[in-house]
Amino acid sequence: MNNAKRLAALLGECGVDALLLTSPENRFYATGFESTAGLALITPEKNYFFTDFRYFEAASKIEGFELSMVGNDRNYTVLINEVLEEHNIKRLGYEDLKMSVMEHAKLQKALHAEMVPTGYAIYSARASKADWEIDRMKKAQEISERALDDVLGIIRPGLTEKEIAAELVYRMLKYGAENTSFDPIVVSGKNSSMPHGVPSHKKIEDGDFVTMDFGCIYGGYCSDMTRTVAVGHADEEMRKIYGIVLEAQAAGIAAAKAGVYGRDVDAAARKVIEDAGYGEYFGHGFGHSLGIEIHEPPNASTSETGTLPKGAVISAEPGIYLPGKFGVRIEDVLVITEEGCENITKAKKDLIIL
């Protein structure tokens, strides 16, 4: 499965004769093939994939692309120029959001076509996931939740944040993940007030909140989730904050719908937290899109000026973080529909006390 046809549809929109894909993420989006080296070319008549000896045999499985191998006398620019000349390509679209200044300068000098930036066009195409892409994300989510179920059974006082993070990684890989979506965040007690805290050797203590933010990759697509649980007991303030965050998440989820501005989804959740008097302790956005990358546009944040398209997959992760005390974040993943959204995260959200 790949998205070559969706990218071919961008040629007219971007005013280019062909599209050059050099980043690993967009090469994968186009071809469905993962590699650390190679490039793809999308033209109206034919698609091309070039790579080196290390990936050439494996790349033969790519559907809908003519495959060529680079060598000492036939490097990438030689192969690209052959395609440019064969198809009379004058304007070549490129990934200005991904390409370095040095790489652009090198290619602009070597290639026999004008290089035209495509801006957010590729991200816009990627924003609306096809059904098969969503199926892979649902599978990645299932794997993450299965790992969480296991880890909830072993969290206890004396276990360290790093040990919990390691267990999450091990179990996601054990249950079929290709990799993690990102390095897991596992923070406890006072450390949980840091939204992106790094797992440490701190030992879990009775009365701690433990926040776990993690995800995995399946079929090239990411999952993402956060759960905050209490160990031993939760005092009145902990229960109160947890309830506010859960209510805020529900408000944001209720507002999420195709055509709605991302900032308005954020505002629905933020209002709950602000009305409760904790607005200054919610310093990030309600959510972000995810797919091939763990962070993709569009977002559900105060700065998002665009609307959410049908088929977008976004996180729903409000939080309250009280410095020196604790933090709470609850995160699900939503598929945006015309009627609202589908929550593909099934893990329990009521406060769990282990």
**What is the DSSP code string of 251-304?**
HHHHH--TTSBHHHHHHHHHHHHHHTT-GGG--S-SEEE-SSSSSEEEEESTT-
Q: What is the pLDDT of residue 85?
A: 97
The residue from 94, 126, 158 where one domain ends is 126
Q: What is the pLDDT along the chain (354 residues), one digit of tens a residue?
A: 899 999 999 999 999 999 999 999 999 999 999 999 999 999 999 999 999 999 999 999 999 999 999 998 899 999 999 999 999 999 999 999 999 999 999 999 999 999 999 999 999 999 999 999 999 999 999 999 999 999 999 999 999 999 999 999 999 999 999 999 999 999 999 999 999 999 999 999 999 999 999 999 999 999 999 999 999 999 999 999 999 999 999 999 999 999 999 999 999 999 999 999 999 999 999 999 999 999 999 999 999 999 999 999 999 999 999 999 999 999 999 999 999 999 999 999 999 999
Give the distance, in angstroms, between the CA of residue 38 and the centroid of all CA atoms in the same chain: 22
* Sign (positive or negative) of CA dihedral 65, 22, 94, 310: positive
Which secondary structure element, helix H or strand E, spans residue 328, and what is its range? strand 326-329
Domain count, the chain: 2
Looking at the fold, whether 33 and 140 belong to one and the same domain comes out as no
- Decide: 183 and 137 in contact? Cβ < 8 Å: no
How big is the chain, counted in residues? 354
Asked, for residue 349, whether it belongs to a domain, the answer is no
What CATH number is given to the structural domain containing 256? 3.90.230.10
Q: What end-to-end distance do the CA atoms of the chain give, in Å?
A: 42
Asked, for residue 172, whether it belongs to a domain, the answer is yes
Asked, for residue 318, whether it belongs to a domain, the answer is yes
Asked, for residue 257, whether it belongs to a domain, the answer is yes
Looking at the fold, whether 146 and 110 belong to one and the same domain comes out as no
Asked, for residue 353, whether it belongs to a domain, the answer is no
Looking at the fold, whether 33 and 94 belong to one and the same domain comes out as yes
Looking at the fold, whether 213 and 241 belong to one and the same domain comes out as yes
Looking at the fold, whether 120 and 139 belong to one and the same domain comes out as no
Looking at the fold, whether 122 and 220 belong to one and the same domain comes out as no
Looking at the fold, whether 84 and 157 belong to one and the same domain comes out as no
Q: What is the pLDDT of residue 73?
A: 87
Q: What is the pLDDT of residue 308?
A: 98
Looking at the fold, whether 184 and 233 belong to one and the same domain comes out as yes
Looking at the fold, whether 279 and 151 belong to one and the same domain comes out as yes
Asked, for residue 283, whether it belongs to a domain, the answer is yes
What CATH number is given to the structural domain containing 35? 3.40.350.10
Looking at the fold, whether 233 and 301 belong to one and the same domain comes out as yes
Looking at the fold, whether 146 and 240 belong to one and the same domain comes out as yes
Question: Which amino acid would we find at residue 300?
Answer: A
pTM for the model:
0.95
Range of the domain at 167: 131-343
The residue from 97, 126, 155 where one domain ends is 126
Looking at the fold, whether 48 and 158 belong to one and the same domain comes out as no
- Decide: 266 and 307 in contact? Cβ < 8 Å: no
Alpha-carbon torsion angle 343, 344, 350, 353, nearest 10:
-160
Q: What is the pLDDT of residue 1?
A: 87
3-state SS, one letter per residue, for 135-147: HHHHHHHHHHHHH
The residue from 111, 126, 141 where one domain ends is 126
CA 342 – CA 344 distance, rounded (Å): 6
